[in-house]
Amino acid sequence: MMMKKFLNFKIVRNVPGQLVIRFDTNKNIESEFRKYETLVVIGGNLLDGIKDMQFDYSKNLIGVSYDIKKLEAKKVLAWVQIIIDTLIDNLKFIQNNWQNNSDEVIRKIEYELKKRI
């Protein structure tokens, strides 16, 4: 399953207010990940203090900007892991419903993530 490649990532930049994560894969993740980008951004926005998420598919990177008065890098990284785990746990539901009922998928993922904040 391609989504499992998102389980392995490492921090490539960690400065106050910005965390850059690289997914540990030799393949470009764009084709698989772009489908889930919306859900990752929605998940990121649920955690108070995350300002923005940027995706660089050519380098398999996600940049996360956050408010250093509200969050530490460790919490941001843990939240990214929670988002990925939640997407993987609900992958069949997402795949079966995204095209025809994306609003329901978003509601379910938001509900699951809010339980873990």
Closest CA to 9 of 82, 55, 70, 61: 61
Per the DSSP assignment, residues forming a β-bridge with 9 are 23
Total-model pTM: 0.87
pLDDT of res. 24: 72
Decide if 51 contacts 69 (C-beta within 8 A).
Answer: no
Closest CA to 94 of 6, 32, 29: 32
- Region 32-38: mean pLDDT is 78
Q: What confidence category does residue 7 fall into, taking pLDDT thresholds of 50, 70 and 90?
A: low
- Region 94-112: mean pLDDT is 95
6: tokens are 């998102």
pLDDT of res. 1: 45
The Cβ of residue 74 has, within 10 Å, a number of other Cβ atoms equal to 10
CATH 3.30.1360.10 fits domain 2-114: yes
Domain ranges for the chain, please list them.
2-114
Higher confidence at residue 30 or residue 17? 17
Please give the Cα distance from 103 to 16 (Å, whole number): 34
Displacement of CA 84 from its chain's centroid (Å): 5
pLDDT of res. 101: 95
- Region 13-40: mean pLDDT is 81
Residue-wise pLDDT for 51-97, tens only, equals 999 998 888 889 999 999 999 999 999 999 999 899 989 999 999 99
Tell me the average pLDDT of the chain. Answer: 88
The Cβ of residue 18 has, within 10 Å, a number of other Cβ atoms equal to 17
Q: Is 71 helix (H, G, I), strand (E, B) or coil?
A: coil
